[in-house]
Structure 1
Amino acid sequence: MALPMVRGCCRLPSSFSPSRLFLIGNIALSGKTRPPRSSAAAVAAAVRLFSSDQGDQRHKQKVVVVGIPNPFIWFRTRVYYFLIRTYFDKDFSIEEFTEGAKQAFSHVSRLLSQCEFEAMEGLVAKDLIGKLEEKCNLLPSNYKRALSADPDEIMYTTPGDVGIFYDDNGRKFVSILMRFWYLTSAQLPEDSSESFRIFKVAIGEGEGEPETKTLLTAIYEFQREFTKGVAPDWTITRIEHSKLLD
């Protein structure tokens, strides 16, 4: 099953050990990844929008997430995109990739929430599926529900680190780390995480209590092998959901 992604997607082996580095973001000389630095600051704010329908005014609310990018990281990733287009895929577009990554994130997060691990095969690295299954089996039902990101509830998406590297056999790989901010109506305990308390927002107004949703973050890493003759597919090799899959 292919990821619902952009042009060119790869089924990467579940594990490999890169030994030679070309251009890499946040990867040490030993070939092991360092924990990524926190992404651009994100601010959640409830913004009221108004529209009229046949003369009646309707009240709508929208949550806006504003990112403040790091100029150095922004410039560095643009250099990587240029190199990918020049040496690997002339049709590569980060805009198309981002849109495809959002679809893949929503699809895989739903499978994760429903513990449909077999359905992830071909989409997520095999060794990662096993680790996710172990963690999900220990989660309460409300935490599992919070893992699922509906496409309409994804508020903000931004690329993170980009890596280009080779393994011992000279195979070429590209990895792109994606960060997502999404809303969930799952009931999460107030004291379980500082992030839960900070990003809780009320949606809607009028009669009754407004619906309360929580803004959560997730990190998914996509990898593709660019070796000649290999199918152009992407595979998810890293999944993190803020405070849910620790």
Structure 2
Amino acid sequence: MQRISSLAACRELAGLAACAAGRGAWNSGPSCCKHPALHRHRAGVSARPFATEPGRRLCRRRFVFAGDKQRPFSSQSGEDGPPGSSGRQPPVSVVGTPDPLTWIRCKCIMCLVQLYFELDMNSEEFEKGVKQALVYVSSKMSIGRYHELVGIVSNEMVEYVETKCKPMTRAQRKQLAVNMEDILFVHPEDISVVFDQYGRKFCSVAMRFWLLSSHEGPDDPEATKIFRVTADEDAGPKKKLATAVYEFHSELTRGVSPDWRVTIVWHWHWTLVQ
């Protein structure tokens, strides 16, 4: 079974070698949970098996991210992020494969979510939405405009982000900004669906982003297990490998607007200033 899942995961990474900036990969497990701020208990919410009411068929849900009316967080927008480009990207090669057990777990849960809630987290719409959320949130962090994250990021996490960014220098904060073309790959790292005592349904999806960054310091060791950046004299300063983990949370209860809100923000850059 592990061999089969490893081969299946490799097919997801197959396009990487053919791309100049690379595409594909993920990490060997939910390492974001090592950070204390990423362990939060949702009061009054307990896990229960998937279930739907007899005779009820839920309509297909489209993805709407919090603040979508004011900001381009959906695939309907023609812009992929803030203006500006990080320039020509260096060649990136794939040197590793994902953990097969974690890959199987996430794929199974995604299939169940699509079956019972008609929520396709494998869709291009969802992937583009989370990428644009990363670009927007990281750009606001890089210039210290934390108040503009309210409504998109949970209040608890807005305070946490500001606390983590304060010790950073202006140059270090600037390096937090992520351009769309710097994103190598994104993949769900952990997925959960819970029901509270009132019958409301909630879904949380932790997404790991693999990035190219101009930060000072070493590459993220988790990223180097999967990718390798080839030095390119024409591309300017060597890009470093980094990761970011964002958790998106939404209520799936029938009749409730399915807005996705960011409830976890974590960047590899923060570990360099601790």
SS at match of 1:138: coil
Which of these residues, 235, 248, 262, is aligned with residue 222 of structure 1? Answer: 248
1:94 paired with 2:122, answer yes
Which one-letter code corresponds to 2:169 in the other structure? P
1:138 is aligned with what amino acid?
Answer: P
- Code of the residue aligned with 1:69 in structure 2: it is P
Distance 1:241 1:133 in 2: 13
**In the alignment, what sits opposite 2:110?**
81
Q: CA deviation at 1:131?
A: 1.4
Of stretches 211-220 and 166-175 in structure 1, the one that deviates more from structure 2 is 166-175
Structure-2 change in CA distance of 1:200 and 1:94 (3 Å): closer
CA–CA distance in 1 between the matches of 2:138 and 2:251?
23
The 5-angstrom pairing of residues 9-88 of structure 1 reads 16-22=42-48, 61-65=90-94, 68-88=97-117
Q: 1:194 to 1:124 in 2, by over 3 A?
A: closer
Q: In the alignment, which residue of structure 2 is the partner of 1:44?
A: none
The one of 198, 201, 204 equivalent to 2:232 is 204
Give the structure with the larger strand fraction: 1
- Structure 1 counterpart of 2:140: 111
TM-score by length of 2: 0.61
Is 1:154 the equivalent of 2:183? yes
Question: Offset at 1:226?
Answer: 0.7
Instruction: Give CA-to-partner distance per residue, 1:119-154, whole Å, 9 cap, x none.
Output: 112211111101111221221123212211110111
Aligned-CA RMSD value: 3.1
Output the amino acid matched with 2:253.
T
Residues 181-200 of structure 1 mapped to structure 2, 5 A cutoff = 181-186=210-215, 188-189=216-217, 195=221
The answer as to whether partners of 1:220 and 1:238 remain within 8 angstroms in 2 is yes
SS at structure 1 position matched to 2:145? coil
Cα distance in 1 for partners of 2:156, 2:182 equals 29
Task: Give a deviation string over 1:54-78, Cα, whole Å, max 9, x none.
Answer: xxxxx98422355512222222222
Letter paired with 1:113: S
Give 3-state SS (helix, strand or coil) of 1:179's partner.
strand
- 1:202 shift after superposition: 6.1
Q: CA deviation at 1:200?
A: 8.7
C-alpha separation between the residues in 2 aligned to 1:71 and 1:195? Answer: 19
The answer as to 2:267 corresponding to 1:238 is no
Over 3 Å counting, the alpha-carbon distance change for 1:23 and 1:244 in structure 2 is farther
For residue 108 of structure 1, report the CA deviation from its aligned partner: 1.0
Q: Which has the larger radius of gyration?
A: 1
**155, 176, 184: which one aligns with 2:205:** 176
In structure 1, runs of 5+ residues without a counterpart are 1-13, 25-58
Q: Distance in 2 between the 1:93 and 1:195 partners? A: 27
Preserved contact between residue 64 and residue 155 of structure 1 (Cα < 8 Å)? no
Name the % identity.
31
Q: 1:91 offset after TM fit, Å?
A: 4.9
Residues 151-208 of structure 1, C-alpha deviation per residue, up to 9 Å, x if partnerless?
011112121111010223322101111101111224x145xx8749x689565325xx
Aligned residue pair count: 193
Q: Partners of 1:215 and 1:61 in 2: how far apart?
A: 11
Shift of 1:15: 8.4
